A and B are shown apart, each in its own frame.
Chain A
């Protein structure tokens, strides 16, 4: 049986998670190739619509990775990101999409192994959860025509 391989988008803050991911590479720590990294200047830069679009366009899971609490380069972008992720989780629940498909995580730039661990764990979780229900759209039928 073919194993389901989820597509994961990770919005990584330039000042921590992005560097941590880089470090994981240079430390030769393997993490799943499912995780596609997008560099952002701050996790606070990630808007709800970015996450929604990622899911809409086919991501099975989205990670928002920012700095440890109190360490944000822009004071409190990471706190705002967490609030946004929490808001979005409730929103997704309302349309019947598992809220755990969106997660906020924090780390410092030096935590290469933490990044690798989170990436692996999140990939496993998404694998268990199965394909995003939005992907049913691939077999979509047109509904009522415009009058």
Chain B
């Protein structure tokens, strides 16, 4: 074992791991974090805490992660390279680890243009691959990115994202390989709606044996309505929502669309768990955390292993 991360331990048991997501609030509202987290407790192994997601100011991922730790949950501390330079990021990693946070996710982050501070400078001193390298260097070599020695280096279990659906598709396996080379331990993918395409990508991943070097968690987001399906299809960059899925959502009466969304989600997990190389699921129920227990139970992922 490289770290004390519960997520790493679950992967090591060979069982499918499950992570959830907690988006911090746009205000100094600790109870919002705690309530969201409480809904997930016992149903997931770890909880991603997003970092200014969609480039909107929110309570810091670090602070919200500390709340989760205090509730004896295991946060996946997300970090985007957009908002801070390498000094700030490394100091946050030291701080987080000191608070018992030992799992993180390295991202470049949505472009500032998509948020409510389009006028902000985007830092990108490092990119996501370079952040992975940095965190691994801190852990395995006990050195900061600048080369100096770290006293009691943070042992982070290092995650990153992968989008199997973005263009150019043929580059997507190589992109994963690059993150593996940089030292990533686990991957959470973009929400999967086009399962056929995901399977094609996974074939490429397995062919190169990458699934043996990194744990890959399939990203799942339940859709609340046909409107959300259409929005995800048209407006969210890098999202691949097949027409038949939109049609299926549109085909049921409005009041039943939410349930249909959950059904689709459970069916997807059932199919995806059979795909070679899938080591778990990352369930991103955006502002719909209360549905996670139902999804986890119906998909046969409950109870969670005790490690």
Do the two chains touch directly in the complex (Cβ atoms below 8 Å apart)?
no
Q: CB within 8 Å of A: which residues of B?
A: none
